[in-house]
Chains A and B, each alone.
Chain A
């Protein structure tokens, strides 16, 4: 059979060629992957309005000075309630005003939801939370919901405006945002062009902005009245008669878009008023890019705002980024002089700024925790953003209320008018993108290249290691048997092509362990009165004990019949690399940013892992460097170290405590972030398996 081996098919030949040069290919691919990640700011495209129906800015703003002064009066009235007793004054006042305008009002009472750990939340979608046992009537948050029915619509669609305020202690900025919403509401109650209902949610943020919005949305979509029976008990005690009238939950249609309007007191360092856009929802989901586009377009061109998105400030002064920017600028100029069509170069300052924004975008998406109350909408497939308005340099809100009311009101009116034009839900533009500035983005087709290049070596190396391991033994056997006289029977090879099953078993055991580690915090968290540091220590200790237990339970991984212990680690590494590849690819679909950042750590760690004893035996410079690299990668690859290194790099090493990691992990699982599952079920097992490879005994 060996002599008349047919020539393999071309696709297999290409595969074999790549496998035989896997070292070169993997070095080239990894470098290219990192480089293309750094090039992403250059490759970003300018945003454009993709959906023609939106037509932003095509109509003249109708928000008049009368509406604005109405809003200002409303705001001053709110500010007069200085001392709050029950937290009912503002809802009542808003109710009265909305009734005057001819809108419908309802009150939505809710209790704070305690975030529970749902490891499978990602697959199941939003669910009804549990209500804590001991509550008091005064701890209710009360959202006020005003609805304008569209004169030209059929009541099937709605646009939501959200203004969070703290009902216990309202600030001037929050009052201003309520004023803006009221001014808009009074305008929209009169206009004739509305074809989608307008819902104004004055969210009571005493339990947090997100909680208020999320609980309203949950009740809106599930139509369950879980809180109602509690509120009935409380109704007699502290709600006025007018309240009970508005208790029924009012619905408008499905939501086309939602805008969260916030005003802050912090002034910016710029000459213009600034508008900060927050868009990241849970698990790195983004609203449709068109929504950001119209807000950006109207804010910049119609109202003269300066639009910002978050960026990591500490990156702005990094020297190597600057020199890289200079290099790119130079290359761009050179290319431009060769052919004027090649104008990819961007100035240094812009490059550095874009990189800082991109890094922040990546970081926020990777964290998987929403950056504001808009995140709650994304769970119901509603596109939403938070617009945060901050006054310009050296001015405060007090003397510029009127101006801000007018501009922001007109901006929101324009956005509402655009969304009102939509015939279908947002679908035209991108959902998967990274922002490099408010008007530039990197789409999925571009950033996937960086990731694909980074992980491409993994399957190659897995295949090459696998073929090494399977070839090394049977070849020798076959040669021997071929040289033997034909009369002796050639024993059939003993399952050489299934030898990987033992390594797969070892990998499976480690992954099983990682699943246990993922669930452990749920139990550790039940321990009362313990600091994060002790909890973290308990978590780590329990994890180590389980690992040792599982290791001893599963027994020796390879049977003694397979004597070739030197191929053992090769197979183990091959299976590890394959498992990591699957995990990273899976994560790149769930949350791209996490996978990209994770790949930066995991790929070098997996690829270089070689038993230290092997390096010791050879004892050359190359082996020494490889060993050192391995140890460094392993050290850097541990999630806890990653966390502290990154935190230290961003915030300084001064006030860091051991327990911070527990707090961070807790926040991740409380927000049901897939990053937590990635960290525990892909990153950690890979790290453990790499250590096992490093410490392999021959």
Chain B
């Protein structure tokens, strides 16, 4: 019965058709990259993610020099060993970096599939929860979007993702590991979640904050309405068992674990696995950078580079201009201020949204992509894809049209301003930085409005619960 209903309500999207079309589209773009020259765009590749820098680091390593010499490469040594050989192989008559681009395409595709699987899990959880709350009659009237399919397609067809994929950088791989950890956590596969989290944090540092959503996902279950509702419901049911007999019988007790319990053992297991993976990664790194100063040097050149904002070349973030202007003796202070900004928001958000860990992960990713030191459109691609997982919940989001126009406008205006500043010389840095600030504002509005819409959705569910009981 469950299945038939979901079939009638869900719309067919033709997922595979569109997914394969997107892959073909990417392959075509990879084959004609010379006109686009995306790999040198500041919006697409940053000092941390650029594959050209990785190729340089690999070259240095081949010459038995430290890959971090000359402040060119700032990524992980593991990535260097995996992707490095691919940058050096040149197939006759084919564009350079063809193999690396293929890796990006594959990473994007797998990432989309994982998003889709996560969406499925979230959707079944949602259906079960609503049913348990006695709101399943509501389901019959509403059109439910297959959020997994939509999110995967949004991720695949987002121009940001496509540009990132074609633009020779490591963002698709980093995004893949972030999504992998979220998938592992929501599916309850602890080792996978730990693996994804460790690798993603190792590659780009900022996913470290995802530890909270991952723990919540493992400890509780995927996103639910507020837990208080279940408690109330349980109390009522035990109180008035006779009157709601039919309801109780229909309730699939076995499917629903007792609410509000926290699976400590899974979390402990997660930490065990995470420490195993961390040890593993560190040992591998230590082996590969043994001759070049060892792990301290690696930490300094990768995480240190990210945290101290050494490279002030323009990007779409808000930090470069600020640190280019700030006096040197305030620099450390403001570095702390900016990074603590991300950390400040973690705890309040975790408390407020603890019943929706996946959504919490989206919010964290959006905030860190706004405040990180070298952001690129690849980060936006990731959180926009994850946002589409919540289409059903965010159906009433405000300003969606305004935000859409804003994103389109900024992403077109930013290259033009860059051109005006760098190539024509008629503009200056302020022109470009203005678009970066506008972009940050739109991201803030997006986060605020989506959180607002989610809380409103929860409020509505609570209201519906009380009305049905009355």
* A interface residue numbers (CB < 8 A to B): 1, 120, 122-125, 285, 381, 431-432, 463, 466, 486-487, 489-498, 500, 504, 561, 574-575, 578, 582, 585-586, 589-590
Contact = CB atoms under 8 A, between A and B. Distances in A.
A586 B459 CA distance: 41
A590 B416 contact: yes
Contact of A589 (B37, B145, B401, B417): B417
Contact of A123 (B413, B415, B467): B415
Nearest to A508: B408
A124 B398 CA distance: 38
A493 B413 CA distance: 35
B346 to A, nearest CB: 26
A381 B408 CA distance: 29
Contacts of A486: 467, 470
Interface in B391-420: 391, 395-398, 400-402, 404-405, 408-409, 412-413, 415-417, 419-420
Nearest to B410: A582
A489 B464 contact: yes
B64 interface: no
B396 A496 contact: yes
A492 B398 CA distance: 15
B39 to A, nearest CB: 13
A586 B413 contact: yes
Given A494-B143, A582-B412, 5 more contacts: A285-B426, A431-B426, A487-B468, A492-B396, A586-B416
B380 interface: no
Given A381-B424, A578-B401, A585-B409, A123 B395 contact: no
Interface in B107-140: 135, 137-138
Interface residues of B, number: 41
A493 B396 contact: yes
B441 interface: no
A589 B463 CA distance: 50
A487 B143 CA distance: 21
B405 A494 contact: no
A466 B464 contact: no
Contacts of A586: 409, 412-413, 416
B470 to A, nearest CB: 7
A128 to B, nearest CB: 12
B395 A489 contact: no
Contacts of A466: 401
A486 B138 CA distance: 14
A404 to B, nearest CB: 34
A531 to B, nearest CB: 30
B417 A1 contact: no
B419 A489 contact: no
A72 B400 CA distance: 72
Contacts of B35: 120
Contacts of A496: 395-396
A492 B137 contact: no
Contacts of B426: 285, 431-432
Given A493-B395, A585-B409, A589-B416, A500 B401 contact: yes
B142 interface: yes
A492 B395 contact: yes
B395 A495 contact: yes
Which of B137, B143, B391, B425 has the most C-beta atoms of chain A within 10 angstroms of its own C-beta? B425
Contacts of A489: 135, 137-138, 141, 464, 467-468
Given A285-B426, A431-B426, A585 B413 contact: yes
Nearest to B398: A497
B138 A491 contact: yes
Interface string B382-393: 000000000100
B343 interface: no
Which of B36, B419, B463 has the most C-beta atoms of chain A within 10 angstroms of its own C-beta? B419
A122 B36 CA distance: 12
Contacts of A578: 401, 405
19 contacts: A1-B456, A1-B463, A123-B415, A123-B419, A285-B426, A381-B424, A431-B425, A463-B402, A486-B470, A487-B467, A489-B135, A492-B396, A495-B143, A561-B143, A574-B401, A575-B401, A578-B401, A582-B408, A586-B416
B423 interface: yes
Nearest 8 CB-CB pairs, A to B? A431-B426, A381-B425, A491-B141, A582-B409, A495-B395, A500-B401, A578-B405, A125-B423
Interface in B305-319: none
Nearest to B393: A492
A285 B420 CA distance: 10
A575 B400 CA distance: 12
B460 interface: yes
A424 B356 CA distance: 58
Interface in B417-470: 417, 419-420, 423-426, 456, 459-460, 463-464, 467-468, 470
B459 A1 contact: yes
Given A122-B419, A582-B405, A500 B424 contact: no
Contacts of A285: 424, 426
Contact of A494 (B142, B417, B459): B142
B469 to A, nearest CB: 10
Contacts of B467: 486-487, 489
A490 B464 contact: yes
Given A504-B404, A582-B405, A497 B395 contact: yes
